[in-house]
Amino acid sequence: MIAANKKPTLENISYITPWLFKKPLAPSVAAKYEKKYISYKALQKWCLKTKKNSFYNYLLFEGAGGLMVPIEKRKTFIDLFKDLKFPIILVAGNYLGTISHTLSAIENLKNNNIEIINIVFNEGNYNKINYNENINLLKNSLKDKIQVRRFSKSKKLHENQVSKIANDIIRYFKKMA
């Protein structure tokens, strides 16, 4: 919302996501608590319509909770990205087990022919886990050349970090043109 110079009001948020839930749960579970339903086809159609009707050169669609989170029955976010042929930015958190989870996600994306623009390694608030060691281990464990970008807790660094991530996205799409 801030990037689009819009206030984060309920109306503005509803414009960028018609699916809002009170509980921070997997979308299908959160919907069930509110006696709502998420249709995979409706989500797919909404993404395509939003992309088609956009005035912007670049759009970001955010998956909630991870690549394998069910949206409807056996359909997951990885199915959505595959069906839409959208490349992704993989966001990884800094926690115990993150290297295994991130490498597994990368392998799953490769097996589904989904392109990765970059990996954003989010420092988060896990103070007991060494961020620098984890990010170096991740970079050294990658089989393919994938750009890993930092996103630290330091608000002073955010502008520079976001700029690098945005430049990766622009470079990716220019290469595709």
Pairing of strands 75-76, 70-72: antiparallel
What pLDDT, on a 0 to 100 scale, did the predictor assign at position 106?
Answer: 97
Instruction: At 100, list the tokens.
Output: 């295994």
Q: Give the pTM.
A: 0.86
Domain that holds residue 112: 87-176
The stretches in the chain having pLDDT less than 70 are 3, 126-128, 177
- The pLDDT assigned to 89 comes to 94
Structural domains counted in the chain: 1
Query: What pairs with residue 75 in β-bridges?
Result: 72
Q: Which residues, in sequence order, are CB contacts of 172 under 8 Å at separation 6+?
A: 87, 117
- For residue 33, being part of any structural domain is answered with no
Question: How high does pLDDT run on average in the chain?
Answer: 89
Alpha helices in the chain (DSSP H): 10-16, 27-33, 40-52, 77-84, 98-111, 131-141, 155-176
Residue 85 is predicted with a pLDDT of 93
> Of 82, 139, 83, whose CA–CA distance to 108 is shortest?
82
User: Domain for residue 25, yes or no?
Assistant: no
In a domain, 49, yes or no: no
Strand pairing of 75-76 and 88-93?
unpaired
Residue 77 belongs to a domain: no
Give the pair of three-digit tokens for residue 37: 């339903």
Maximum distance among all alpha carbons in the chain? 46
β-sheet bridge partners, residue 132: none
Contact 40, 71 (CB under 8 A): yes
Question: Is 99 within a domain?
Answer: yes
109: CATH = 3.40.50.300
DSSP letters spanning 125-152: T-TTS-HHHHHHHHHHH-SS---EEEE-
* pLDDT the model gives residue 127: 66
Residue 111 belongs to some domain of the structure: yes
Tokens (6 digits) for 25: 């749960």
* Within a domain: 96: yes
Q: What is the pLDDT of residue 61?
A: 82
Which pLDDT tens digit goes with each residue over 125-145?
A: 766 678 899 999 999 999 989
Q: Is residue 64 part of a domain?
A: no
